[in-house]
Amino acid sequence: EKFMRTTVVSFDAANSEPEVSYREFEHSLIKPRLRNYAVAKKE
């Protein structure tokens, strides 16, 4: 249900809580890349 989707968060002022939803997107336009969280980014 949440795989290969983008996360959208909005704020509900009436309840003072965030609302989280997920939307499909055209993933064929984005090239896969390595997601390595073990190494810090160099600036």
- Supply the pLDDT for residue 30: 85
User: What's the one-letter identity of residue 28?
Assistant: S
Q: What is the pLDDT along the chain (43 residues), one digit of tens a residue?
A: 667 888 999 999 999 999 999 998 888 888 888 888 887 766 6
- Supply the pLDDT for residue 43: 63
Residue-range domain boundaries for the chain: 1-28
- Supply the pLDDT for residue 37: 84
Give the predicted TM-score (pTM) of the model.
Answer: 0.51
- Supply the pLDDT for residue 41: 66
Cα 24 to the center of its chain, rounded Å: 11
Cα 19 to the center of its chain, rounded Å: 14
- Supply the pLDDT for residue 22: 92
Q: How many residues does the chain have?
A: 43
Q: Which of 18, 19, 22 is nearest to 2 (CA)?
A: 22
Rounded Cα distance between 43 and 32, Å, is 22
